[in-house]
Amino acid sequence: MKSGFVAIIGRPNAGKSTLINALLERKLSIVTEKAQTTRNSIKGIYDDDEYQIIFIDTPGIHLAHHSLGRYMNQQAFASAKDVDAIVLVVDGSRKFDAGDTAIQEKIDQNIPLFVVINKIDLLRLPEVIEIKNKYHEVYPNAELIEMSAIENFGIDTLLEKIKPLIKEGPRYFEKDAISDRDPSFFVSEVIREKSLKILKDEVPHNLAVRVDKIKNQKDKCIIDATIIVDKDSHKGIVIGKNGKRIKAIGMQSRVDLEEFYGKKVFLELFVSVKEDWLNNQRLLKELGYN
Ligand SMILES: Nc1nc2c(ncn2[C@@H]2O[C@H](COP(=O)(O)OP(=O)(O)OP(=O)(O)O)[C@@H](O)[C@H]2O)c(=O)[nH]1
Ligand SMILES: [Mg+2]
């Protein structure tokens, strides 16, 4: 069999997680309208019996202002080493700027590179041509691929162009494996996604989810989790008037979790304040950012 690793990197909000989900035809990685949604590298396993390709979704590369941000960037760059190919996802509706140059300077030139011009559903043809010309100039050896990850356009083309780069190798993960991450990671990510969506910009970024208990029984699954915020004033916002928001977060999370477990889920959510957890190494480690 042929097997290998492919890193998906790029700036925040470019559509990396949308792309990995489309490649794997399942919701592996959480997606929101907010930049810096993904915080850890997540391996997603594509396996069609002939090929096992391990795609690595990574946090968006950005100018970091706290320890968590530095951890996120480090995850992205570390994932782009020792891989068979790198997929650089670009938001085609944004102009090339200094942030893109910063990424360019760090990409290993010896690894085959695909530049995915994503979100072409938002562009007119002249804009597509313009951005492709720009990226051709910046990465003359890369293969450029037009994509709308959200509309499933360009996904198969990318996959077919990656396959010839994948060499004979072992099946790294079991046939039915989906990811390198355990269930509690997915539980916390689902709750974080629903929290981000429901809270919109009210508690920006500074929110984490800790799973305290998962009791996976025959007919049901009982989960306790804590939403961690970094300011006292945010606690009330997460809870909402008469607990309205936290109830909504719980209800929406439960829908996804019941699908994930294939059984009834009882979810109890708590909120806790941990001041400046984004800069606290011990707490970062406890929350899985290490
Ligand atoms: N119009 C359009 N929107 C897209 C496309 N792909 C992704 N999006 C949207 O862009 C936003 C960000 O998508 P993500 O997949 O979370 O982006 P990301 O690169 O993983 O972002 P980070 O995890 O923050 O680095 C979401 O609102 C997506 O629905 C696309 O092809 N077209
Ligand atoms: Mg992401």
**pLDDT tens, 253-288?**
999 999 999 999 999 999 999 999 999 999 999 999
pLDDT(201) > 80:
no
pLDDT, one tens digit per residue, over 62-96 is 999 999 999 999 999 999 999 999 999 999 999 99
* 61/139 same-domain check: yes
Q: Which of 42, 150, 151 to mutate to test the pocket of ligand 1 (most atoms within 8 A of CB)?
A: 150
Are residue 211 and residue 130 in the same domain, yes or no? no
Residue-wise pLDDT for 217-255, tens only, equals 999 999 999 999 999 999 999 999 999 999 999 999 999
Are 226 and 160 found together in one domain?
no
Q: Which residue has the higher pLDDT, 201 or 188?
A: 188
Please indicate, yes or no, if residue 172 is contained in any of the structural domains. no
> How much is the pTM?
0.96
Q: How far is the CA of 33 from the centre of ligand 1 (A)?
A: 7
Bridge partners, 91 (sequence order)? 118
Q: How many residues does the chain have?
A: 290
Is the domain of 195 the same as that of 148? no
Instruction: Name the residue with the closest Cα to ligand 1, atom 7.
Output: 15
Q: Would residue 239 count as lying in a domain?
A: yes
In a domain, 124, yes or no: yes
Looking at every residue in the chain, the average pLDDT score rounds to: 96
Which ligand 1 atom sits nearest the alpha carbon of residue 21? Answer: 15
- Same structural domain, 40 and 156: yes
Do 125 and 33 lie in one domain? The reply is yes
Domain contains 176: no
Instruction: Return the residue whose CA atom lies nearest to atom 27 of ligand 1.
Output: 33
Residues 160 and 199 in one domain: no
Nearest Cα residue to atom 9 of ligand 1: 15
Note whether 16 and 158 are same-domain residues: yes
Sheet of 264-273: strand order equals 207-216, 220-229, 264-273
Tell whether 99 is covered by a domain: yes
* Per-residue confidence (pLDDT) for residue 88, from 0 to 100: 98
Pocket of ligand 1 (CB under 6 A): 10, 12-18, 31-33, 35-38, 59-60, 118-119, 121-122, 148-150
Residues within 5 Å of ion ligand 2, judged at the Cβ atom: 16-17, 37-38
The reply to whether 92 and 206 lie within a common domain is: no
Q: 139 and 268 share a domain?
A: no
Whose alpha carbon is nearest atom 3 of ligand 1?
119
Which residue in this structure is represented by tokens 């690894």? 111
Question: Looking at residues 188-203, what average pLDDT do you find?
Answer: 92
Identify the CATH number of the domain in which residue 216 sits: 3.30.300.20
Q: Quick one: 40 and 97 in the same domain?
A: yes
CA 77 – ligand 2 centroid, Å: 14
What spacing in Å lies between the alpha carbon of 18 and ligand 1's midpoint? 6
CATH assignment of the domain containing 26? 3.40.50.300
Q: Are residues 61 and 198 both part of a single domain?
A: no
| Per-residue model confidence as pLDDT tens digits over 101-134 | 999 999 999 999 999 999 999 999 999 999 999 9
Decide which of 113, 131, 165 is a domain's last residue: 165
Query: What does the alpha-carbon distance between residue 217 and residue 248 come to, in Å, rounded to a whole number?
Result: 25
Domain boundary among 165, 192, 224: 165
- Ligand 1 center from residue 154 Cα (angstroms): 15
> Number of folded domains in the chain?
2
Conformation bin of residue 284: beta by default, left when phi > 0, alpha when psi is -120 to 50: alpha
As a three-state string, the secondary structure of the chain is CEEEEEEEEECCCCCHHHHHHHHHCCCCCCCCCCCCCCCCCEEEEEECCCEEEEEEECCCCCCCCCHHHHHHHHHHHHHCCCCCEEEEEEECCCCCCHHHHHHHHHCCCCCCEEEEEECHHHCCHHHHHHHHHHHHHHCCCCEEEECEHHHCECHHHHHHHHHHHCCECCCCCCCCCCECCCHHHHHHHHHHHHHHHHHCCCCCCCEEEEEEEEEECCCEEEEEEEEEECCHHHHHHHHCHHHHHHHHHHHHHHHHHHHHHCCEEEEEEEEEECCCHHHCHHHHHHCCCC
**Token pair for 11:** 């700036």
> Which of 106, 130, 165 is the C-terminal boundary of a domain?
165
Expressed in angstroms and rounded, the spacing between residue 14 Cα and the centre of ligand 1 is 5
Distance from chain centroid for Cα 18: 8
Highest mean pLDDT: which range of 12-21, 29-38, 198-207: 12-21
Q: Which domain holds residue 217?
A: 183-286
- What gap in Å lies between CA 203 and CA 249, rounded to an integer? 14
The answer to whether position 97 is within a domain reads yes
Give a yes or no: residue 192 inside a domain.
yes
Q: What percent of the chain has pLDDT over 90?
A: 97
Residue 194 domain-assigned?
A: yes
Q: How far is the CA of 8 from the centre of ligand 2 (A)?
A: 10
Q: Whose CA is nearest to atom 30 of ligand 1?
A: 119
